[in-house]
Amino acid sequence: DAKTTQPNSMESNEEEPVHLPCNHSTISGTDYIHWYRQLPSQGPEYVIHGLTSNVNNRMASLAIAEDRKSSTLILHRATLRDAAVYYCIPLPGAGGTSYGKLTFGQGTILTVHP
Amino acid sequence: DTEVTQTPKHLVMGMTNKKSLKCEQHMGHRAMYWYKQKAKKPPELMFVYSYEKLSINESVPSRFSPECPNSSLLNLHLHALQPEDSALYLCASSQGLQGPINSPLHFGNGTRLTVT
- Nearest CB to A43: which of B2, B100, B104? B2
pLDDT of residue A83: 98
pLDDT of residue B58: 93
Give the length of chain B: 116
Shortest alpha-carbon distance between residue A82 and chain B (Å): 16
**B115 pLDDT band (50/70/90 cuts)?**
very high
pLDDT of residue B99: 58
Query: Given CB atoms, is B40 within the 8 Å cutoff of chain A?
Result: no
pLDDT higher than 60, residue A96: no
Shortest alpha-carbon distance between residue A102 and chain B (Å): 7
What is the three-class DSSP state of B85? helix
Closest residue of chain A to B41, computed from CA coordinates: A106
Query: Given CB atoms, is A22 within the 8 Å cutoff of chain B?
Result: no
Mutate one of B3, B30, B56, B101 to test the A interface: name it (highest A CB count within 10 A): B101
Q: What is the pLDDT of residues A26-83, one digit of tens each?
A: 888 888 899 999 999 999 999 999 998 899 999 999 999 999 999 999 999 999 999 9
pLDDT of residue B95: 86
- Nearest CB to B101: which of A87, A93, A103? A93
B70, β-bridge pairs: B73
CA B16/CA A91 separation, integer angstroms? 38
Picking from B83, B105, B84, B85, the residue whose alpha carbon sits closest to that of residue B21 is B85
Report CA Rg, chain A.
14
Bin B98: left if φ > 0, else alpha if -120 < ψ < 50, else beta.
alpha
pLDDT of residue A100: 66
pLDDT of residue B100: 59
Q: CB B100 to CB A87 under 8 A?
A: no
Q: What is the pLDDT of residues B24-67, one digit of tens each?
A: 999 999 999 999 999 999 999 999 998 999 998 999 999 999 99
Angle at B1 between CA A39 and CA A21, to 5 degrees: 25
Strand order of the sheet with strand A70-75? Answer: A18-23, A70-75, A61-64, A55-56
pLDDT of residue A101: 80
